[in-house]
Structure 1
Amino acid sequence: MKKNIYKSLIACVALLGVYACSDETGPYVSTYQVIELDGVPRSGSELYPISTNTVEAVETDSVKVTVNYAGEKSAPEDITVNIEINDQAIADYNASEDANYTALDPSLYGAIPSTVTIKKGESSADFYIPVYPNSFDLNLSNALAITISSASSGTISGNYGTRIYYIPVKNEWEGTYTQTVHWIAGVAEQTYSTKGVYLNTVGPTKNHVNYIGYYFGGNTYYEFNADGTVTATNGYGCTMIKSNYDKTTHNFYVHYTFIGTKYELEETYTRTGD
Structure 2
Amino acid sequence: MSVHEAGQSNSYLFRGNLELDPTWPDPAQQLTDAVKAGLRPGKIGSVYADTESTGVIVTDDGESREERLFQVGASLLLDHVGIALTTPSDAWMPHDLRGRAQHAVYTANAPRLSAALRDLSEALNSETDPDDPTHFGKPTETGVENYYDEDGTASDVWTSFEIPRRYSVFRHAPGFGHIGYKRSVKGIVQYAPVRAGHGVLGYLWASDAENGASFEPRDLDDDETYRVSLSWLERLASAYDRGLSPSQALAELAGLDADHKPDVIELDRLRELAGQG
Q: TM over 0.5, yes or no?
A: no
TM-score scaled by length of structure 2: 0.25
Structure with greater helix share of residues: 2
TM-score (norm 1): 0.25
Which gives a bigger RCO, structure 1 or 2 (Cα 8 Å, sep 6+)?
Answer: 1
